[in-house]
Amino acid sequence: MTVTRVPANLYTAVQRRRNRGLTGLYLVVAAFLVVYAILFPGLFTIGGFSKFTQNWFPLALVTMAQALMMLNGGISLAIGPLVSLGAVIAAVTMGGPLGVLGGLLAVSAAGLFIGAATGGIVAYLRLPAIIVTLAGSFIITGIALLLLPRPGGYIPDWFSDLLAGHTPVAFGLLVLFLIGWKVYLATPLGIGIYAAGNNPVGAYRSGVPVERVKVFAFALSGLLAALAGLFVAAQTGSGDPVIGTPFTLNSIAGAVLGGVAFLGGRGTMRGVICGSLLLSVMINVMFFLGFPPVAQYVAQGLIIVGAVAVPQLTSQWRAKP
């Protein structure tokens, strides 16, 4: 009898396998970072690093939010509106009696609630996420505009300085989010996302609480997007009911660059974080190279198509006899 090969540490072995195939992405990210560092040597000062990570931070959060949805086999069109709503709620409540803490709680609660409600509709009524979030995006945008018809509100200066000042607080927070995400994916509910996204019927039969997995993931996704909005409000010092709009498509772009599959059940944390970093650096590099904004969009689109096509083509090429 042959003996089953048991890896000494199953968790690390599984992670290593799941992240194989990201080498190409690492290299591309590294290359862009090098170019960026040459163009902008200030990256290596505390201030420069802080600014850089502050630009990246909200994009990283919304990419994670979108990745959670895509792993579940859906896609969210409500990420941008949720960012806006987060910003608006922060700007409206932070001047209130409970101050910053109250604002933080209100934004988190709104994100979790909207996410969970969306997830509940998708999971229990079995509606496609793209339709539910499309409807949700109109509703959320409407609510944001009702709360704050034009940019304004109040964010305390010290709070803006803390998050978007000259210290790398945003980077530290990002590390915390990543640890949280890693822990979440090491729980049965977290790993259930992969099963529920890839083979929902099979997952149900295996005893995975598919509905609960979905509602939980959607709630977390809503939380991340709303917190990204809070950060954007701190960055700009005010609330803006439409500021989040570009984040919907950028979050999809970041997730796709990071190798998250549209059909669900495929994608990794490392990929997601690299994808959002790549997108962020790309935008910065093109800005420094003096690309006109329109050309930036074209280049961004081409790079995204390329990022999806290249692995596909290389695997086809490898498969040839």
Partner 1 sequence: MTKTKPLLEARRVFKGFFGNPVLKGVDIALEPGRVHALLGENGAGKSTLINLLSGALQPDKGNVVVDGQPVLRFSPAAAREAGIAVVQQELSLAAELSIAENIGLGALPRRFGLIDYRALSTAVAEVCERVGLTEPLDMPVGDLSLGRRQMVEIAKALFRKPRVLILDEPTSSLSAHEAGILAGLIRKLRDEGIALLYISHRLNEVQALCSHVTVLKDGVVTADQPLAGVNDEGLVRLMVGRDAGDLFPAWQDNPVGNELIGLEGFSAGMARDVNFRACAGEIVGIGGLVGQGQEDFLLGLYGAIPASAETAQIAGRHRPLKNVEAANGAGLAYVPADRKHEGLVLPHSIASNLLLPSLGDLVKHGLRDRAAERKRVADLTRRLTIKGDVGRPVQALSGGNQQKVALAKWLPLDPSVLLLNDPTRGVDIETKREIYLMLQSFAREGKLVILLSSDTPELVHLCDRVAVFREGRLATMLPRSEISEEAIVGAAMGLSAKGAAA
Residues near partner 1, by CB under 8 A: 1-7, 9-11, 13-14, 16-18, 183, 186-188, 191-192, 194-195, 197-199, 201-208, 265-266, 320-321
Nearest residue (CB) to partner 1, 14 versus 175: 14
The smaller minimum CB distance to partner 1, of residues 206 and 314, is found at: 206
Measured from the CB of residue 232, what is the shortest distance to partner 1 in angstroms?
Answer: 32
Shortest separation between residue 69's beta carbon and partner 1, angstroms: 16
Nearer to partner 1, 184 or 291 (CB): 184
Between 1 and 294, name the residue whose CB sits nearer to partner 1: 1
In the complex with partner 1, the residue whose CB is nearer, 20 or 294, is 20
Closest CB to partner 1 among 4 and 293? 4
Rounded to the nearest whole angstrom, what is the least distance from the CB of residue 270 to partner 1 in the complex? 14
Closest CB 70 distance from partner 1, rounded Å: 12
Q: How far is the CB of 223 from partner 1 (least distance, A)?
A: 18
> Closest separation between CB of residue 316 and partner 1, Å?
10
Q: Which is nearer to partner 1, 97 or 321 (CB)?
A: 321
Give residue 156's identity as a one-letter amino acid code.
P
- Least separation in angstroms between residue 210's CB and partner 1 is 10
SS3 string, the chain, reads CCCCCCCCCHHHHHHHHHCCCCHHHHHHHHHHHHHHHHHCHHHHCHHHHHHHHHHHHHHHHHHHHHHHHHHCCCCCCCHHHHHHHHHHHHHHHCCCCCHHHHHHHHHHHHHHHHHHHHHHHHHHHCCCHHHHHHHHHHHHHHHHHHHCCCCECCCCHHHHHHHHCCCCHHHHHHHHHHHHHHHHHCCHHHHHHHHHHHCHHHHHHCCCCHHHHHHHHHHHHHHHHHHHHHHHHHHHCCECCCCCHHHHHHHHHHHHHCCCCCCCCCCCHHHHHHHHHHHHHHHHHHHHCCCCHHHHHHHHHHHHHHHHHHHHHHHHHHHCC
